[in-house]
Amino acid sequence: MRISVIGTGYLGAVHAAGMAELGFEVVGVDLDATKVDSLNRAKMPFYEPDFEPLLEKHVGSRLRFTTDMAEIADADVHFICVGTPQRKNSLAADLTHVDSAVDAMIPFLKDGSLVVGKSTVPVGTAERLAERIEVATPESVSVELAWNPEFLREGFAVEDTLHPDRLVLGVNGDNAESVLREVYARAIADQTPVVVTDLPTAELVKVAANSFLATKISFINAMAEICDVTGADVTALADAIGHDERIGRKFLNAGVGFGGGCLPKDLRAFSARAAELGAGQSVAFLHEMDAINLRRREHVVNLVREHLGALHGRRVAVLGAAFKPNSDDVRDSPALSIAGQLHLAGAQVSVYDPKAMANAAAIFPTLRYAESASAAITGAEAVLHLTEWPEFRELDPVTAGELVATRLVIDGRNLLDRDAYRAAGWTYVGLGRP
Ligand code: UDX
ipTM of the complex, rounded to two decimals: 0.97
Alpha helices, DSSP H only, in 185-262? Answer: 199-230, 234-242
- Ligand 1: lining residues by beta carbon, under 6 Å: 150-154, 210, 213, 217, 251-253, 255, 257-260, 262-263, 323-324
pLDDT the model gives residue 247: 98
Share of the chain residues as helix, strand and coil, in percent rounded to the nearest 5: 45, 15, 40
- Give 220 Cα–ligand 1 centroid separation in angstroms: 14
pLDDT the model gives residue 173: 78
Burial class (CB in 10 A: 0-12, 13-18, 19+), 89: exposed
Catalytic sites, residue numbers: 262
Using an 8 Å Cβ cutoff, are 214 and 263 in contact? yes
Burial class (CB in 10 A: 0-12, 13-18, 19+), 225: middle
- Give 263 Cα–ligand 1 centroid separation in angstroms: 7
DSSP bridge pairs for 77: 3, 114
pLDDT the model gives residue 391: 98
Q: For residues 242 and 98, what is the distance between their CA atoms, to the nearest angstrom?
A: 39
pLDDT the model gives residue 283: 98
Question: Nearest-CA neighbor of 356 among 285, 260, 424?
Answer: 260
Q: For residues 135 and 139, what is the distance between their CA atoms, to the nearest angstrom?
A: 9
Q: For residues 38 and 200, what is the distance between their CA atoms, to the nearest angstrom?
A: 36
Architecture field, domain 230-434: 3-Layer(aba) Sandwich (3.40)
Residue with CA closest to ligand 1 atom 22: 258
Using an 8 Å Cβ cutoff, are 147 and 199 in contact? yes
Backbone CA torsion sign across 284, 289, 294, 299: positive
* Best of 163, 217, 220, 295 for a ligand 1 pocket test (most atoms within 8 Å of beta carbon): 217
Angle at 208 between CA 203 and CA 209, to 5 degrees: 105
What superfamily does domain 2-197 belong to in CATH?
NAD(P)-binding Rossmann-like Domain (3.40.50.720)
Tallying the residues shown for the chain, one arrives at 434
Burial class (CB in 10 A: 0-12, 13-18, 19+), 402: exposed
Domain definitions of the chain by residue range: 2-197, 230-434
**What is each CA distance from 80 to 29, 58, 105, 165, 240, in whole angstroms?**
10, 21, 10, 21, 42
Using an 8 Å Cβ cutoff, are 335 and 256 in contact? yes
* Best of 153, 161, 256, 326 for a ligand 1 pocket test (most atoms within 8 Å of beta carbon): 153
The radius of gyration of the chain from alpha carbons, rounded to an integer in Å, stands at: 23
Q: Residues near 217 by Cβ (< 8 Å), separated by ≥ 6?
A: 251, 252, 253, 257, 258, 263, 293
Q: Residues near 208 by Cβ (< 8 Å), separated by ≥ 6?
A: 270
Q: Is 251 helix (H, G, I), strand (E, B) or coil?
A: coil
H or E segment to which residue 316 belongs:
strand 315-319
Q: Residues near 326 by Cβ (< 8 Å), separated by ≥ 6?
A: 47, 49, 154, 155, 156, 355
Q: For residues 202 and 174, what is the distance between their CA atoms, to the nearest angstrom?
A: 17
pLDDT the model gives residue 90: 96
- Give 412 Cα–ligand 1 centroid separation in angstroms: 15
pLDDT the model gives residue 189: 87
Residue ranges for the binding site for substrate?
Answer: 151-154, 206, 251-255, 259, 324
Domains 2-197 and 230-434 share a fold: yes
Long-range contacts, stretch 368-376, CB < 8 angstroms, 24+ apart? 370/317, 373/319, 374/400, 374/403, 375/350, 376/317, 376/318, 376/319, 376/350, 376/351, 376/352
pTM: 0.97
Which parts of the chain have pLDDT scores under 50? none
| DSSP 8-state code for residue 107 | G
Q: For residues 412 and 394, what is the distance between their CA atoms, to the nearest angstrom?
A: 16
